[in-house]
Structure 1
Amino acid sequence: MGTKLIIDTDPGVDDAFAIALAARSADVDLLGVTTVFGNVPLATTTSNARRLLQLCDRPDVPVAAGASRPLLYRELHRSSTVHGSDGLSGHAASLPDATRPLEDSDAVSLMVSLLEASDEPVTIAPIGPLTNIAALLAAHPGVRSKIARIVLMGGAITLGNSTAVSEFNIWADPDAARRVIAEDDVPCVMVPLDLTHRCAVDSTWLAKLAASGPVGQALNSFTPDYLAHYRQVLGYEGIVLHDAVAVAEAIHPGILRAETYPVDIDSGLGPTRGMTIVDRRAVPNISTGRPVEVAVDTELDVLREFVLSRLAGGR
């Protein structure tokens, strides 16, 4: 086995692609999946995650449910509408029922047990709000040495999507994001909107995925609401695979090119709440935050082919 991986997720169309990417990669030891509120409420993200793993023929992977709300200020969060009411454009019911029961333990407890049992450091890929990860690092500081790195999808250098300056995963729980990204010392790679938008895939790519087999066909069937949204954003028929881009880096280190910048998160209650403050000046002078690897570029065709081949070809 190659990369040992835990995914923390809020499925979500792009989360579905990301989970399948890891689940269908032979060089990934997918230790577990934990769920968090986000694109849809926790009960739905948890059901989606379990049934997506069943779709990928991975009932061996344990799933545990985590946070149902942000650390603070419950009223500031709202679920996204981009993914449809069930997170998968109304097609979640088409997924097979999960045969593996939901873990009795919560998300943080599952992560702790998996980290402590691992004989080598584990990569964690949070692709939803960072509430579970903040709780893990706060309550169990001893597991830091077992984390190889955190590769997260979140943040924006320039334009946001939930607000003018804030990306959804960060905006959904900025207090948790600040703890993980700006205040902790676990190695962190941030994969922001600026790059994930450039990695968008078009209708030809989606048609190849749909023709590849049952899993590809199912993944493509989840995209109608997502396509409707990104038709306006991109100006053509295509979607942005935000979370799959981050998981590609988690399982293939270096497929994205990163630069190190000081990063802080605005966790105030004003109009810039959730903003990722990336100091790209030649001589940074940021009073808070810490140096973080920020993914800024990739070979676009290589990245798209990597994701497609893994999703289409399976293990």
Structure 2
Amino acid sequence: MAYNVLLFSDPGIDDSFAIMYALLNPDLNIVGIVSGYGNTPKEQSVKNTAYLLDLAGREDIPIIAGAAGPLSGESVQFYPEIHGPEGLGPIKPPDSLQKVEVHDFNKILEIINEYKGDLIIVNVGRLTELALMFVLYGDNVFKDVTAFYIMGGAFLVPGNISAEAEANFYSDSIAANIVMEKAHNIYLYPLNVTNKAIITPEVINYLSENSPTPFRPLLKPAFDYYFKAYQKNIPGIKGAPFHDVIPLMAITNPEIVRYIPRRVRVEEFGKAKGKSIADFRPKPDKEPPETLDNIGMEADIQKFVINFMEVFLQGDFGKK
């Protein structure tokens, strides 16, 4: 039986591969995609999502417009050097996709009600939209959601946008802290796990020749652009980390990630803004059990690569 997933994302390249993976994985049933600012402005994020759904022939999946910026009201910095001017590296979604039906936040409530008690929320972008749901609808808005799978944070490793912080937590640190404190049954995938989720050019070259899916023409140009950016930032890196695929893969392959239960808080302001904090001492302070989050600490990267390839090589694409 497939897991029902409501996906929050901001497609740049990494998120786009996560969306492709989710659409191709027969064990995941994507019931909606919330697209907001992050790697690209909100409008571009929505357009990129629409393009991927169009390629997949999955226009039945509702697109929900997310936020245009963080709760702090600060201006947003985008990263065209990593994700390209339009978020898909050198690829430009066709202009014919401009008249896409986009839903507002009420659609999230509808989806939660429709899949009551049988819905996983996966968040691989900024956490603004999830925090806004708590602000708009109260602390119990997600009570019927089974679990939250979130890409964010960095524990015992450096950040990737500042010395201390990972980008999703840094870009809206207020939202990140709200979500980590108010959401329940959280599985968190920080940089200490996702940095190692490396896909190499050899894997992408193989898939770009053999994948039977309609995404095949995108794989190599998008990856090459992303990989070049990583080679500049991390000399000697052998591939590009697909941070956002890991949370989706962990739903259907729970053995891939090893977790530690700790309460996570996020520094909201100052020099350590966006830093994820947890108590890793041998005898951590006692916290109420309901406040503990499952922090991903290690991942089986060999299994990650094998599963990634298997999903992109499936012939019965799109059969849900």
Q: TM-score, normalised by structure 1?
A: 0.91
CA distance in 2, matches of 1:61, 1:203: 31
Structure 1 residues 15 and 117: CA distance shift in structure 2, 3 A: same
* Residue of structure 2 aligned with 1:137, choices 105, 124, 134: 134
* Secondary structure in structure 1 of the residue aligned to 2:108: helix
Which residue does 2:101 correspond to in 1? 102
* Secondary structure in structure 2 of the residue aligned to 1:33: strand
Instruction: Give the CA deviation at 1:97.
Output: 4.8
Instruction: Give the CA deviation at 1:100.
Output: 8.2
Identity %: 24
For the Cα contact (< 8 Å) 2:90–2:221, is it kept in 1?
A: no
Which residue does 1:163 correspond to in 2? 162
CA distance in 2, matches of 1:143, 1:287: 24
Instruction: Give the CA deviation at 1:96.
Output: 8.7
CA distance in 2, matches of 1:114, 1:5: 10
1:177 and 2:193 correspond: no
Worse overlay, 128-137 or 296-305? 296-305
Structure 1 residues 286 and 272: CA distance shift in structure 2, 3 A: farther
Matches within 5 A, 1:46-61: 46-61=46-61
CA distance in 1, matches of 2:119, 2:135: 18
For the Cα contact (< 8 Å) 2:152–2:191, is it kept in 1?
A: yes
- Per-residue deviation, residues 189-224 of structure 1 (Å, max 9, x unmatched): 110111111111111111122112441331222123
CA distance in 2, matches of 1:184, 1:239: 32
CA distance in 2, matches of 1:97, 1:186: 40
Which residue does 1:117 correspond to in 2? 114
- Per-residue deviation, residues 65-109 of structure 1 (Å, max 9, x unmatched): 11001011413x31123111111113133x695598323x31x32
Worse overlay, 147-156 or 278-287? 278-287
Instruction: Give the CA deviation at 1:185.
Output: 4.2
Letter in structure 1 aligned against 2:59: P
Which residue does 1:206 correspond to in 2? 204
RMSD (Å), alpha carbons:
2.2
For the Cα contact (< 8 Å) 1:59–1:98, is it kept in 2?
A: no
Q: TM-score, normalised by structure 2?
A: 0.90
Which residue does 1:62 correspond to in 2? 62
Which residue does 1:300 correspond to in 2? 301
CA distance in 2, matches of 1:9, 1:57: 19
For the Cα contact (< 8 Å) 2:257–2:296, is it kept in 1?
A: yes
Letter in structure 2 aligned against 1:238: G
Which residue does 1:148 correspond to in 2? 146
For the Cα contact (< 8 Å) 1:9–1:127, is it kept in 2?
A: yes
Which residue does 1:246 correspond to in 2? 247
* Secondary structure in structure 1 of the residue aligned to 2:195: helix
For the Cα contact (< 8 Å) 1:199–1:240, is it kept in 2?
A: yes
Letter in structure 1 aligned against 2:30: L
Instruction: Give the CA deviation at 1:150.
Output: 0.7
* Secondary structure in structure 1 of the residue aligned to 2:83: coil
For the Cα contact (< 8 Å) 1:279–1:286, is it kept in 2?
A: no
Letter in structure 2 aligned against 1:116: N
1:235 and 2:250 correspond: no
* Secondary structure in structure 2 of the residue aligned to 1:260: strand
- Per-residue deviation, residues 110-151 of structure 1 (Å, max 9, x unmatched): 211100111432101111000000111332344322211110
Name the count of aligned residue pairs. Answer: 309
Letter in structure 2 aligned against 1:207: N
CA distance in 1, matches of 2:114, 2:79: 35
- Per-residue deviation, residues 13-41 of structure 1 (Å, max 9, x unmatched): 11011101111122222100011100010
- Per-residue deviation, residues 256-313 of structure 1 (Å, max 9, x unmatched): 2211122110001x11101111221112238999421111122211111112211231
Worse overlay, 208-217 or 124-133? 208-217
* Secondary structure in structure 2 of the residue aligned to 1:245: helix
For the Cα contact (< 8 Å) 1:51–1:96, is it kept in 2?
A: no
CA distance in 1, matches of 2:235, 2:159: 15
CA distance in 2, matches of 1:91, 1:262: 40
1:71 and 2:71 correspond: yes
Structure 1 residues 166 and 74: CA distance shift in structure 2, 3 A: same
For the Cα contact (< 8 Å) 1:11–1:49, is it kept in 2?
A: yes
For the Cα contact (< 8 Å) 2:116–2:145, is it kept in 1?
A: no
